[in-house]
Structure 1
Amino acid sequence: MKLSNKLWIHWGKNPNDVFQYLKISKAGAKLDESKKFIQWFRFVKDYRDKKGARWFLDYEIYRSLLKVAPEAKIATALQSLKDIKDLKNLAEIVQNYQFKLWVGRKDPRTDGNGERLEGRDIPVSTLYSFNT
């Protein structure tokens, strides 16, 4: 565990605090290339290892990322994190959460509540629709 992560945990910081401190929201479209994003994800891993996964759940990680990037960019970023040995497991867990979320939708252009998602990368072709 990096010293900065140990100190943040010791000082009672949580992943939301560190997310804001590192200004992850500025990474946005370049999330998968951001060193600060990797640092935050590593902090989340260390935080969950220390406190337990129930203190920052999979959906909270995903929800944090949705605030700064579209789902397609999150998918790309999670895929790239799987190449980093110490982050691979958590990246797979969050990626699995994302896949379950997508499969649970009747229409991939809406969230789980049927609300229309915004973004250019959302397919509009019926080829991608799960409607029966």
Structure 2
Amino acid sequence: MYSLARLKKLLWFDAIAATVAATGIFFLKDLMQPYLGLPSALLSGMGFTALVFALYGFHLLMRKITSKRWIQILIYGNATYAIFCLVLSLYFLFKIPWIGIVYLWIDTAIVETLSYIEWKTTKHFF
């Protein structure tokens, strides 16, 4: 059930999702910012972070040998980013529109779920 093929699929999903997130933020930032209420610089930082995750995910996919340590870096990075988004949602809880809070919660849920699934797969694979 837990195989290299499943791990590769997760890495592809992670890299593509991060690419879509970064692209969406960069192209729609000016449109989204008034509705989300988040500072433009913060959205840019989140987009840049998603781009770094995308590049790292594609880097992992291009490597011939998959190392547990390299994948753990991605997992811990995802978990840290999810915690960061959750902390941001608490910081901005009464300062921005509810849609901005929901955006941060959805971002948290997606990234943390992906981190958890990757962790479980890696735990059984290595």
Which of the pair has the greater relative contact order for Cα pairs under 8 Å at 6+ separation?
2
> What TM-score do you get using the length of structure 1 for normalisation?
0.30
Greater helix fraction, Structure 1 or Structure 2: 2
